[in-house]
Amino acid sequence: MIKRQKYPDMKPSDRTFFAVVGIMTVILAIIIILLIARQVFGNVVTKTVTIDLSMQNLSCFENGKRIDLFKISSGNKHHPDDGEDHSTPKGVFYIHDKKIDEYSGELKCPLPYCCWIIEYNIGIHAGYLPGYPASHGCIRLDLENAVKLYSWAPIGTKVTIYQGGK
């Protein structure tokens, strides 16, 4: 059986040329796809929040760079209302719901611009900042910063709460 060549009069240098052109075409197509994807989806930004209970502050990060630092008031270990431990829990959580006009029936108080992180028990919301831990476990921000955080952090944002050193 005689093997026929697809292009019998093509020299090896011609085949190399067409192979390079083919590879360049594939690379160009990939670049175009990536540029279109960037236009459609935009740049991916990773947003995270950290809360340092010892310093009573909350930091907002975009792609690992701190963009904001807010004073907070976290949970009080010996709350004056009932003497119970209402310390803010430490750990890694995620914002799972957000409500602008939330209200606590149990505590009979508003929780404006609330970002819920632990079921519907612990949230980050606007409230009074006396300069020390004073809440029933939630993280309080002043109203201006609560609005900023609420607008900036989407549902799913990672929130890390830890006890740093003073």
Phi, psi of 38 (to 5 degrees): -65, -40
Give the per-residue pLDDT at 57. 97
Of these ranges, 10-19, 26-35, 125-134, the one predicted with the greatest mean pLDDT is 125-134
Which range is least confidently modeled, 27-31, 51-55, 102-106, 124-128?
102-106
Note the helical H segments in the chain.
12-41, 143-152
**Per-domain residue ranges for the chain?**
11-44, 47-162
Burial class (CB in 10 A: 0-12, 13-18, 19+), 146: buried
Residue at token pair 């989806």? 41
Superfamily of domain 47-162: L,D-transpeptidase catalytic domain-like (2.40.440.10)
Instruction: For residue 114, name the pLDDT band (cuts at 50, 70, 90).
Output: very high
Return mean pLDDT, the chain: 87
Q: Is 51 within 8 Å of 162 (Cβ atoms)?
A: yes
pLDDT at 43 over 70: no
Of all residues in the chain, the percent with pLDDT exceeding 70 is 88
Over residues 45-67, the mean pLDDT reads: 96
Give the per-residue pLDDT at 80. 67
CA distance 94 to 156: 5
CA distances from 93 to 80, 81, 89, 131, 155 (A): 27, 27, 10, 24, 11
Handedness of CA 55, 92, 137, 64 (dihedral sign): positive
